[in-house]
Structure 1
Amino acid sequence: MTYFKSILSAALLSATALTAPAAFADGGTLVIASTQVPRHLNGSVQSGIATAIPSTQIFASPLRYDENWEPQPYLAESWDVADDGMSVTLNLVKGATFHDGEPVEAEDVAFSIMNTKNNHPFQSMFAPVDTIDTPDAHTVVINLSKPHPALLLALSPALAPVLPKHIYDDGQDPKSHPANSAPIGSGPFMLEEFTPGEAVILKKNPNFFIDGRPMLDEIIIRIIKDPSALLIAMENQEADMYPFMAGSQEIRRLEKAEHLGVTSDGYAAVGPINWLAFNTKSEKLSDPKVRQAIAYAVDRDFITKALHRGVSSPQRGPIIEGSPFFDESIPAYDVNLDKANALMAEAGFGDGMDLTVDYIPGPKEQQQSVAEYLKSQLKKIGINVTVRAAPDFPTWAGRVSSYDFELTMDVVFNWGDPVIGVHRTYLSDNIREGVIWSNTQQYSNAKVDELLNMAAVELDPAKRAALYAEFQQLVATDLPVYWINALPYHTAYDKRLQNVPVGIWGSMHPMDTVHWGE
């Protein structure tokens, strides 16, 4: 019997099985409940919540970030950005080791950054990285082809795990490497067992390079696909933390549990936006006037206040409204049916049209419910909408990434800096057939390309903000996407937990300081 089976029997996997850990000032077990199913645990080649939560516990990264967006030492005890912005030098801590006892050295960091650059879905994240020098075992010099103001943020735990070169540099495809499911890192926790679809069990790394950490003995990430069972597990103290909770019924229900705290803190860098995307190459949707008409017909306030029960907030543009780069003056497209009908007539569709809307299967409240709302609302401007379901996520992703859609609901993250999470949707050179969460709208505007490419290398924050403001005004007119709301991510947690991760990356951050208190 495997370790997992021995401590979590079939009964334990039911909604009422786990016994909550005793309250310890130090040590103990943290049970994280999640509906997300990781394919593997290597965040260097895979984005997303499911992978990032365990990956950031197993792998350390060069830097980590506090709740004020300030970089903090991690594997790099210090760093220096060249005056011209063309290089960054990392000075690594001494004495850090991987879980197999091998030292963490500059070659590992250099290998990992290039591995992420070549294999991660976010191509813009390390695109300016040209070469990496390792003059000694504890010095890494990242040489850039152009300034890259997002680089330090890209060195965060969720985006830049440091892999052991002696394991991964063996000629195998990094995306399917067997070590992805049995990873060895240098983070605060070591993989004990990964049972796909059931649980990830992590044990304390006794040789972690930060003294006194981690404070927990064990983290169990328990996969509970049934949302009702997950809520019961939280209410019955069978699970201790539920991050990335977005359903209004879930949030309101767990807020009533006396032993639980519920917070929306911890998602500032995630920047999750729920939106309606247009296939701009469709004959029906190629005219921005039609897209604007649809925007004027949709009532954001009804969606956020009625459909989402007031837990989500309106989102007016491509950059999350909590970002310093968000432009407050962006046109909001508040509901105006007269204007919408006039725009339809100007575009030559005064007699209406038929459209199909897709949605991501699973998160009904944010996706399917909004799609069904569109069916009734757009009828008011002569658009007959057919809501097209997909049996699973791969089917939806295949349709959208191959441009087999007219309208689709979607959820896309900002990932902290616009270079990482925003540019990919609007740059014309990122129209990549078969790649989901690229420019699947097939949107192309040379001026937008110019502005984004300038903002990607501008080191002056004020000038950068001005470039992003101009970009936002342009895409608000072209409207390849109609932005609806920010996802209302919340974390529910046992109130006895101390140092619950509420920094900019939330639970996609090392939990080495999390501990139990009386």
Structure 2
Amino acid sequence: MKRASIVTLFLLFCCGLCPPQSTTAAPNELTVIMKSPPMHLNSALTSSTQSIQIATQIFASPLRYDLNWTPHPYLASSWEFSEDKKSLTLHLVPEATFHDGKPVTSEDVAFSILTIKQNHPFKTMFAPVTAVDTPDPHTAVIRLSHPHPAILLCLSPPLCPVLPKHVYGDGQDIRTHPKNIAPIGSGPFRFVEMKAGEYAILEKNPTFFLKNRPVLDKVIFKFIKDPSSRMMAMSQGEAQLFPLMENTRNIARLKKEAHLAVTNRGYEGIGGHTWLEFNLRKKELSDIRVRKAINHAINRGFIIEKLHNNLSSSSTGPLTPQSPFYEPEVESYPYDLKKAQALLDEAGCKPGKDGVRFSLTLDFEPGLPEQQKMVAEYLKSQLRRVGIDVQLRSSPDWASWAERVSNWNHDMTLAIMFSWGDPVIGTHRSYISGNIRKGVAYSNMSGYHNARVDELLSQAAQEMDPVRRKELYGEFQKIVVADAPMAYLNLIPFNTVYDKRVQNVFTSIWGPLSPMDTVYMK
């Protein structure tokens, strides 16, 4: 990419997004609903959407993405790869300052990338980074052990907050740093206050490096755990934005409100879907015929139509249709109880006098009942029809569920998985055999091992040609769906409900996990 002035690049990115100047004297505020409060606001340490939603308003990142998966300048006005693709040079805007007035430099970028590499749960993001050179204050050179096609996406808002080195590099443990709950960044909004369990308040950054941004004067995040109270807040106008909403009955209800609008745009990068994951260490589930039988016993149309009010859609494999690498031509498992029973017979799982062939436990994540508990109850009744006795096991909280299934003390579990934009970031972890790590949630908990899949994912993680990369991921998807370590169920119907006065919701594949500097109230 040729180097260009930040003004020119800003105008290109903003084309069509810039709001008219507000003529109202009323406060230009936006109240956003969140279902639960964040543990902290340092997104260099976590993949929690609760933290990221707020952190991306406070911290800027080197790049940002539009709805077409195209990278745009942010803290970096331009960038270029070396000929061998083993280094990426970022040219930083000279105007950027942190909220305390200190300039943003290449030292801050280097510190941030290495901090994320060491502390973030997504180890694959910056695993190829060997060093970050800082030849001058506005140039950062990222050195890679091999070409890394996902590196640009890794430098975008949800994944790469640029931290002030002079604040976080003071020798204190960054995981418990006091500024994690009152951060200083260079993003469009400054931290004002966070009251535990109730709200977080941000105000406009008057020295933001992008001219005429942000437009909002204040953003208030309200943490409302009670579903009825969340609905009332939107219905009565106490809040104007409710992102990451997946309860289809509530979505349908709020759609009827004249002052509200609903959109499912802006979740392409998150790529959420629900699957039934098998523990392949279990004797019955180690047999591919049993796994295929369970697939055929599931009526996905019932889940979508009856449980999700036709607002979700079927998941067909490890990548969602919004991914540039999605492969639709994979093995399908149409609902067929007779075929399921025949496969179980073939596997030697004969029914006893009570009609039961064998028993399995089924865990599910707490929260999101439409995507978990209700689906688990349906699967229990459905698998009983082919002779599989299913015992449901609930967990009091996410940590309890994760402790159980990550230590392989389960037979099957429902899980909610995000692709996080690039397969290297969010998908590889569930399929690479080297990622079978006891005690780590979402890390190939099934114990799946296929040498060809390992080879394909290793090649795809280094392939810079998008056409060739799509071919590699296409073969990967076909193999995995045929091997059936999971039964893919449905895409999570994430929607954003918002007051019709709110404009520019949302303009990035990261949706609510992206900066709201172009959002304004009409």
Query: What's the offset of the Cα at 1:268?
Result: 0.6
Post-superposition CA distance 1:380-410 (Å, at most 9, x none): 1110001111111111111111111111111
Secondary structure at the counterpart of residue 371 of structure 2: coil
Query: What's the offset of the Cα at 1:284?
Result: 2.3
Q: Hey, what does 1:50 align to over in structure 2?
A: 50
8 Å CA contact retained: 1:23, 1:496: no
Cα distance in 1 for partners of 2:502, 2:478 equals 44
Cα distance in 2 for partners of 1:425, 1:283 equals 21
Q: Residue 354 of structure 1 is aligned with which of 340, 352, 359? A: 359
Cα distance in 2 for partners of 1:214, 1:246 equals 28
8 Å CA contact retained: 1:498, 1:515: yes
Cα distance in 2 for partners of 1:482, 1:355 equals 15
Post-superposition CA distance 1:406-452 (Å, at most 9, x none): 11111010011111111011011111222212111121111111100
Residue 254 (1) aligns with residue 257 (2)? no
Cα distance in 2 for partners of 1:280, 1:198 equals 42
Secondary structure at the counterpart of residue 221 of structure 1: strand
Query: What's the offset of the Cα at 1:470?
Result: 0.9
Q: Hey, what does 1:9 align to over in structure 2?
A: none
AA at the equivalent of 1:227: P
Query: What's the offset of the Cα at 1:27?
Result: 5.8
Cα distance in 1 for partners of 2:229, 2:461 equals 44
- Number of residues of Structure 1 aligned to a counterpart in Structure 2: 496
Give the aligned CA root-mean-square deviation in angstroms. 1.3
Query: What's the offset of the Cα at 1:82?
Result: 2.0
Q: Hey, what does 1:170 align to over in structure 2?
A: 170
AA at the equivalent of 1:504: I
Q: Hey, what does 1:10 align to over in structure 2?
A: none
Q: Hey, what does 1:411 align to over in structure 2?
A: 416
Cα distance in 1 for partners of 2:209, 2:281 equals 53
AA at the equivalent of 2:186: S
What residue ranges of structure 2 are gaps of 5+ in the alignment? 1-21, 352-356
8 Å CA contact retained: 2:66, 2:507: no
Secondary structure at the counterpart of residue 306 of structure 2: helix
Q: Hey, what does 1:383 align to over in structure 2?
A: 388
Secondary structure at the counterpart of residue 262 of structure 1: strand
Post-superposition CA distance 1:175-214 (Å, at most 9, x none): 2222111111100111111122211111111111111111
Residue 344 (1) aligns with residue 349 (2)? no
8 Å CA contact retained: 1:36, 1:225: yes
8 Å CA contact retained: 1:267, 1:502: no
Q: Hey, what does 1:233 align to over in structure 2?
A: 233
Q: Hey, what does 1:319 align to over in structure 2?
A: 319
AA at the equivalent of 1:233: A
8 Å CA contact retained: 2:268, 2:510: yes
AA at the equivalent of 2:411: E
Secondary structure at the counterpart of residue 513 of structure 2: coil
1:476-495 to structure 2, matched below 5 A, reads 476-495=481-500
8 Å CA contact retained: 1:157, 1:510: yes
Query: What's the offset of the Cα at 1:24?
Result: 4.3
Q: Residue 420 of structure 1 is aligned with which of 416, 425, 435? A: 425
8 Å CA contact retained: 1:288, 1:478: yes
Post-superposition CA distance 1:490-511 (Å, at most 9, x none): 0011101121224201011110
Q: Hey, what does 1:75 align to over in structure 2?
A: 75
Cα distance in 2 for partners of 1:25, 1:163 equals 35
8 Å CA contact retained: 1:100, 1:184: yes
Cα distance in 2 for partners of 1:52, 1:83 equals 34
Cα distance in 2 for partners of 1:150, 1:418 equals 8
Q: Hey, what does 1:271 align to over in structure 2?
A: 271
Q: Hey, what does 1:3 align to over in structure 2?
A: none
Cα distance in 1 for partners of 2:23, 2:339 equals 60
AA at the equivalent of 2:243: P
1:471-510 to structure 2, matched below 5 A, reads 471-510=476-515
Residue 437 (1) aligns with residue 435 (2)? no
8 Å CA contact retained: 1:26, 1:215: no
Q: Hey, what does 2:403 align to over in structure 1?
A: 398
User: Does the C-alpha gap of structure 1 residues 196 and 429 become closer, same or farther in structure 2, counting only changes over 3 Å?
Assistant: farther
1:447-462 to structure 2, matched below 5 A, reads 447-462=452-467
Q: Hey, what does 2:468 align to over in structure 1?
A: 463
8 Å CA contact retained: 2:272, 2:491: yes
AA at the equivalent of 1:449: D
AA at the equivalent of 1:413: F
Residue 105 (1) aligns with residue 105 (2)? yes
TM-score, normalization by structure 2: 0.93
8 Å CA contact retained: 2:241, 2:496: yes
Q: Residue 368 of structure 1 is aligned with which of 373, 394, 398? A: 373
Q: Hey, what does 1:207 align to over in structure 2?
A: 207
AA at the equivalent of 1:235: S
Post-superposition CA distance 1:367-392 (Å, at most 9, x none): 00000001110011110001111111
What residue ranges of structure 1 are gaps of 5+ in the alignment? 1-21
User: Does the C-alpha gap of structure 1 residues 26 and 480 become closer, same or farther in structure 2, counting only changes over 3 Å?
Assistant: farther
Post-superposition CA distance 1:244-302 (Å, at most 9, x none): 00011111011000001101111011100111111111122111211111111011111
Q: Hey, what does 1:7 align to over in structure 2?
A: none
Secondary structure at the counterpart of residue 201 of structure 2: strand
Q: Hey, what does 1:513 align to over in structure 2?
A: 518
Query: What's the offset of the Cα at 1:305?
Result: 1.0
